[in-house]
Amino acid sequence: MSDIAIGFTGIAALFLLILLRIPIGMVLIAVSFVGIWAVVGMDIALSSLGIIPYNFASSWTLSSVPLFLFLGFICYHTQLTQGMFRAARAWLAGVPGGLAIASVIGSAGFAAVSGSSIACSAAMGRIAVPEMMRYRYDPSLATGTVAVAGTIGALIPPSIIMILYGVIAQSSISKLFLGGIAAGLVTAVGYIVVIYLRVKINPSLAPDASEAVPWHEKIASFKDTWPVFLIMIGIFGGLFAGIFTPTESGAIGSTLACLVAILKRCMTWQAFKKAAIETLVTTSALLIIAVGASMLTRFLVFSGASDYLSDWILSLDAGDLVIMLGVVVLYLLLGMVLEPIGCMLLTLPIILPVIENTGFSLIWFGVVLTKLLEIGMVTPPVGMNVFVVKSVVGNLVTTSQVFRGILWFLVLDLALIALFIAVPEIILFLPDLVGR
């Protein structure tokens, strides 16, 4: 069997084992090790098993991953972001679908202090869904809104997906963050428009929940939003002013979150302990998958499969746009069965060489890829955000009701992907502005 044939056999084995629900990190490491052994021998395979994990895990940039995770978990367990939802609700009391729109705004605020869409969905599910159900909102609209709004968590920085992508693609994380801000804000505005139009067309989806909120209460509602704004200013102000690096900003953000929680007297030992344990568990899982992806990259290079695939795709002379549409379809399909980070790390060794040989910016592609991966967070059968919302709200809704609730938002997301491809300047404007 030729080296290239071994490479493709390894790729087939990867997908087969993943479909059998074997943990993706273990699959990546095992298949890559056996593949390297088959191509270049046991000595190099054993050497790779020692050197590659060390070289990847020792990357200074990756140290920001547990720090941003800890920041998000601290904010979640100490409920520092609840004020964003309450303030949005006070100001949107008279707007059709105001509580659902407030959920989107609250999610955007949580996204700015967290890198996780799952944490975002869980936080808003706990805060916003019971409130909407109390005002007799349609269960599908209430839960579907929270599930899709959670996807903003990976777009608006800090974003764990963008950090990992930046390390692998050797792209500027600061520029990825800037591109993510534009994509995240456009997405949030799009969700708000969808909610508003749906409720205007069918008022029964969101009965009038307006209350006469006095102006002094509206102004007073801002006092509970200061924790989020303080952390945001601390992270992004210093980051884009050049005071500290994206890696160091994770430490600054985590420290600020702890100090703010202490000042608000909502920091407990139990909350700190939960945040620390969840950070350790999540970081460990991510590193195992990332190390496996690094080994897969080495295996595909040794076998020549990645170059062969890249050359074959480019030889089709299909044009950059057709290639990009093929990549979009690929990630939409894979997103239905794989979790986002595993999906990205599994495919980047094959996809990146193709993108590098087209006219597309790697910064732009990183943001679009993040958006595609987050669509997978709400599409069946996996749809992790959907199951997170269902677990948080319990028997208030069925899983099928939550999936029905994301349908119109999914249509919007596909339209946004088309918009980002047609007008890449939407994403690249801020990175290019800073890069000048």
Q: What is the DSSP string of 113-163?
A: T-S-HHHHHHHHHHHHHHHHHHTT--HHHHHHHHHHHGGGGGTSSS-HHHH
- Express as a percent the part of the chain with pLDDT over 90: 25
The pLDDT of residue 359 is: 79
Is residue 298 located within the same domain as residue 323?
no
User: Is there a single domain that holds both residue 298 and residue 220?
Assistant: no
User: Are the CB atoms for 289 and 24 separated by under 8 Å?
Assistant: yes
HEC string for 151-189: HHHHCCCCCHHHHHHHHHHCCCHHHHHHHHHHHHHHHHH
pLDDT tens, position by position, 408-417: 999 999 999 9
Q: Note whether 374 and 229 are same-domain residues.
A: yes
308 and 199 both lie in a single domain: yes
Closest CA to 18 of 274, 260, 338: 338
> Is the residue at 283 inside a domain?
no
Within-domain flag for 274 = no
Same domain, 38 and 146: no
- Per-residue pLDDT tens, the chain, 436 aa: give them: 788 888 889 888 888 887 787 888 888 889 999 999 999 889 888 888 888 888 777 777 778 888 888 888 888 888 777 777 778 877 777 788 888 998 999 888 888 877 778 878 888 888 888 888 888 899 999 999 999 998 998 898 888 899 889 988 888 888 999 999 999 999 999 999 999 999 999 988 987 655 666 766 767 777 777 888 888 888 877 877 778 777 788 888 889 889 989 988 888 999 999 989 988 888 888 888 888 888 888 888 888 887 777 777 777 767 788 889 989 998 998 888 777 887 888 888 888 888 888 878 999 999 999 999 999 888 887 788 888 888 878 777 888 888 999 999 999 999 999 999 999 999 999 888 876 5
Host domain of residue 426: 62-267+304-435
- Determine, yes or no, domain membership for 273: no
Residue where one domain finishes, among candidates 303, 331, 363: 303
| 299 and 357 inside one domain | no
Do 229 and 133 fall within a single domain?
A: yes
Q: Is residue 25 a part of any domain in this protein?
A: yes
Q: Which of 20, 436, 368 is nearest to 169 (CA)?
A: 368
Based on the fold, state whether residues 106 and 5 are members of the same structural domain. no
Domain assignment present for residue 418? The answer is: yes
* pLDDT tens for each residue of 155-198: 988 888 998 899 888 888 889 999 999 999 999 999 999 999 99
Q: Are residues 22 and 121 in the same domain?
A: no
- When divided into structural domains, the chain yields a total of 2
Predicted pLDDT of residue 216:
67
Closest C-alpha among 117, 123, 112 to residue 76? 123
Nearest to 365 by CA among 188, 183, 158, 240: 183
286 lies in a domain?
Answer: no
Per the structure block, which two tokens stand in for 16? 């087969």
